[in-house]
Structure 1
Amino acid sequence: MARLNTLLFLVVVALSVIALIDCLSTDGTRLRSFPRGAWIVLILLCPVAGAIAWFRAGRATSASDIEGPMPVPGGGPVGPEDDPEFVKMLATRISGA
């Protein structure tokens, strides 16, 4: 019985440490639901439930999970259709002028 208790304890500690490291290393723009400090407190005070909640609802896993526009590196257009100059050049090329 002592071995089982030790194993369960180590699993809970490992889960909490992994969740805490992931929470601390996640970019601030990818946080959901609560601020980082609230997630840290939740993970530390409720190790199993806090860690599971962090992995299920704390961090955005895809771009559609993040609210608001994604930041663009360099501030320029993302694709050619976002560049007004390119669209204008295509329009003149299609019209044959």
Structure 2
Amino acid sequence: MARLLIVGGFLALVFWVFSIVDCAVQPATRHRGASKGAWIAIVVLIPVLGGILWFALGRRRRRDQESIRRAAPDDDPEFLRGLGKTEQDDRIRRLEEELARLDDETDPPAAEPRS
């Protein structure tokens, strides 16, 4: 019985330390419901229960974050702001030149007029 308590206490200690480290190293965008400092305080002050709360409620899952960022580039205001007008103009000009070159390659030679 004493061994079981020692093993359980050791596992609780490992889980507690792991919870603290996981909470501390996650970027602020992965914390849900409270600030990063508040979550660290919860996990530290309420040893095992704080860790369970952190993993169940506080930690934003990667798939949750991906669904937030899953937008087409033309729907993303940051992406659109990052595009300069000259960048767009240069790309359009290059595409037009390429299309003109392809048109020239595929057009049959013009017949010479007969006199």
> Aligning the two structures, in what range does the TM-score lie when normalised by the shorter sequence?
0.5 to 0.7
Write the distance in 1 (CA, Å) between the matches of 2:77 and 2:39: 34
More helix by share: 2
Which 5+ residue runs of structure 2 have no aligned equivalent? 71-75, 84-115
Write the distance in 1 (CA, Å) between the matches of 2:9 and 2:63: 35
CA RMSD of aligned residues (A): 3.1
Which 5+ residue runs of structure 1 have no aligned equivalent? 71-75, 84-97
Q: CA deviation at 1:23?
A: 0.6
Which portions of structure 1, spanning 4 or more consecutive aligned residues, are displaced by more than 2 angstroms? 62-66, 76-79
Q: Normalised by the size of structure 1, how large is the TM-score?
A: 0.63
Write the distance in 2 (CA, Å) between the matches of 1:45 and 1:62: 26
* Paired residues, number: 86
Structure with more relative contact order (C-alpha pairs < 8 Å, separation 6 or more): 1
Write the distance in 2 (CA, Å) between the matches of 1:51 and 1:64: 20
- Matched to 1:47, the amino acid is P
Q: Normalised by the size of structure 2, how large is the TM-score?
A: 0.55
Query: Which has the larger Rg?
Result: 2
Aligned to 1:24: 24
Q: CA deviation at 1:64?
A: 3.2
